[in-house]
Structure 1
């Protein structure tokens, strides 16, 4: 018992976990923070940032585990003095290193979750995605530690870092099922889509199965107990099953997500993704002047709807369909320009003459509320500049067809 207590005290004072926690936390926070979409608080993207951080944390944790494994071999003579199994010390080491890695991972998760919660968040955090990152991190720790036990050389930790780094970075997100093997390489989740729970669950199963198989194989190598082959085969079977399920997904980690829009209904009706509901007041302010100027024309609209990136934008039956990926500076002007672009016939305007393009630019500047451009027809510019707001609106109602076809001429401004 005294020898066992001595071993436990020595193990408790080891420095590897003390080094791993702050180092992994700092690297993980920076990596996840850079992966977050700065102006959209979407929980699915928060999970993606956390999972992608493991692609950097994993190789670092594996290298630290391999380094600790090589250093801790000096304690083997003390462990041999106890009646414990020779695998017990290694299992305790992996448990300590895994706890340190998970503590850092938990801190990173808390930081990105608080950042998302403090903004206009939407969706729900995928718990399975958080578990996928945690199990992948533990898998790296186990693989790195066992590599250090099998090849007790200082160079092993460097080899482990390089090998796991290549495994994490050699796959392109969204290309094939291969990219979904832990640690998964995930693309940013676009609005109106969400992470597929089945793919995340398969990632958890794959990591857990392979980690268990590695540990059981190592313990069986030390003890040579035949009964351990049964759980080893079961763990390998789970990994194989998860691989088959990931292959069947064909690399699709996201799918359509039913999301109810957030709307504001006066003086226009504007509906956007809930993650962007903070933009409703400024969008209302930016688009109301354009709606007022188009009132009474075939391009009039009373409703603005944000559509997924794959859906077409444009004007139809009083509804302006827009695309809005985020709230980067200038997003209001971007939306107004999208609505303006939907007013004209793209095919007809592709072959417009220079003078017609100048007239259209002059009218567009008024519709958008920007500075009037200089055009070659000074008389038309002077006449248009002297008209009141009401006169311009009446003129647009009378000449909207020519504006729509990019066929305005000097006669329209007489």
Structure 2
């Protein structure tokens, strides 16, 4: 071949290499897929960094197989021009490595765009916790591993069916594992559950995931270079990479599938008219919770379950009302969260076992009548219309006094028609000793607002 012909062929190779930049059009598509996946994993209106990082890692379960398929397709297509690359003085591994670098850069660009979206969304709200750079690294390294697996699969078996095989293998690996089931679920791409409030990601697990992905990706690339160049010197770095992979797997196995652990939290509180305390990521809920809980606290004043503080606790603690504190759960700020909290408090006021075994079928109807008043809801229609008419016709002060006298029967679902007779609504006479024993604490809705008290 003449010198001019060689220059022409070299120019063709360079033009073909330049055409590979067209793969960058896949970046917007991968970004869209990753953003939607991450967004669906976030709690509504909750800006908790640990959960944001877990959502970002979970995007790789969808983004990874898509990137692997793209890499496999590119490898099968580019394998056809290897005879042109052989005309140059480059190593037979140079072209494939350049392809792999381009595909990796495209996938990481999409992952970076998804990361920016999640970070901005978290910063725009009342964020709590702290971001984990290792979490971003764990997701990125898992994505790189998918690209390497898909591309090398297409290089070793350059057949269109390879793309389908890569898609099936990566999707099965991602989907056939449930969050928290075993330590296998932590192998990249990790199947992480939503990180609940009052817990946090374990940084050691994130580091081990990164080591596993990078070690395995490096071993695959080095093994391919050794196979393409027919050089055995890569055996040592391949062994080192596999040792890193094994160390990461051993660490993940010792974690028993638990990616999160309880984390200490300083609650965010609003002090007036009730003291309401929630996780800092939910501090925007304080005004709505305070406004919703104050009427209920006022109606329960003077009963054994009177409370002046509402406090969010971890899911392990059941909702209850004791010693003036109403313990609640609040997972997110989806519509109706304040109503759900009031329901939790109201359910804690009664003895569930006694209500479930009550022999009187009417007891549930009488309880629902009182429940509706406590929650400020529309009165229900019950069979005993006379009792409903009387109770709904009493003044607010009369109903509160009635509840203080009959709370024990209400708690055990033992209310009957006799509790709603006119005589049951008359105020009781108290001796001087009884009056002295009564709590002097005013009801929350009539307490004077102190000067300079914060509004939220």
The TM-score with structure 1 as length reference comes to 0.95
Tell me the distance in 2 between the aligned counterparts of 1:222 and 1:265.
70
2:59 counterpart SS class = helix
CA contact (8 A) 2:74 2:151 kept: yes
Shifted more, 279-288 versus 111-120: the winner is 111-120
Aligned to 2:31: 25
Tell me the distance in 1 between the aligned counterparts of 2:331 and 2:223.
48
Counterparts in 2 of 1:161 and 1:355: CA distance versus 1, 3 Å: closer
Counterparts in 2 of 1:385 and 1:77: CA distance versus 1, 3 Å: closer
Gaps of 5+ in 2: 1-5, 424-456
Tell me the distance in 2 between the aligned counterparts of 1:174 and 1:16.
40
Whose radius of gyration is greater, 1 or 2? 2
Aligned to 1:398: 405
2:63 counterpart SS class = helix
- Alignment pair present for 1:216 and 2:237: no
- Alignment pair present for 1:254 and 2:264: no
Shifted more, 319-328 versus 340-349: the winner is 340-349
Shifted more, 367-376 versus 230-239: the winner is 367-376
Gaps of 5+ in 1: none
- Pick one of 377, 382, 387 that aligns with 2:389: 382
Counterparts in 2 of 1:95 and 1:412: CA distance versus 1, 3 Å: same
Aligned to 1:356: 363
Aligned positions of 1:26-105 closer than 5 A = 26-105=32-111
Tell me the distance in 2 between the aligned counterparts of 1:226 and 1:56.
36
Tell me the distance in 1 between the aligned counterparts of 2:56 and 2:179.
15
Please give the per-residue CA displacement for 1:333-365, whole angstroms capped at 9, x wherever unaligned.
111121111112222222221233332222212
Tell me the distance in 1 between the aligned counterparts of 2:415 and 2:231.
89
Aligned positions of 1:322-341 closer than 5 A = 322-341=328-347
Tell me the distance in 2 between the aligned counterparts of 1:139 and 1:115.
27
CA contact (8 A) 2:49 2:122 kept: yes
Aligned to 1:371: 378
Tell me the distance in 2 between the aligned counterparts of 1:61 and 1:193.
32
CA contact (8 A) 1:16 1:68 kept: no
Tell me the distance in 2 between the aligned counterparts of 1:377 and 1:59.
62
Tell me the distance in 1 between the aligned counterparts of 2:71 and 2:379.
65
Aligned to 1:275: 281
CA contact (8 A) 1:16 1:97 kept: no
RMSD: 1.9
- Alignment pair present for 1:122 and 2:122: no
What is the aligned residue count?
414
Tell me the distance in 2 between the aligned counterparts of 1:376 and 1:222.
84
Tell me the distance in 2 between the aligned counterparts of 1:356 and 1:154.
70
Shifted more, 41-50 versus 167-176: the winner is 41-50
Tell me the distance in 1 between the aligned counterparts of 2:101 and 2:85.
16
Tell me the distance in 1 between the aligned counterparts of 2:23 and 2:389.
76
Aligned to 1:204: 210
Aligned to 2:146: 140
Aligned to 2:245: 239
Aligned-pair CA distance for 1:89: 1.4
Tell me the distance in 2 between the aligned counterparts of 1:244 and 1:168.
20
CA contact (8 A) 1:48 1:188 kept: yes
Aligned to 1:345: 351
Please give the per-residue CA displacement for 1:81-124, whole angstroms capped at 9, x wherever unaligned.
33332211111111111001100111111112222222232222
Please give the per-residue CA displacement for 1:174-217, whole angstroms capped at 9, x wherever unaligned.
10111111111111111111211111111100000000000110
Tell me the distance in 1 between the aligned counterparts of 2:274 and 2:256.
42
2:362 counterpart SS class = helix
CA contact (8 A) 2:205 2:252 kept: yes
- Pick one of 317, 320, 345 that aligns with 1:311: 317
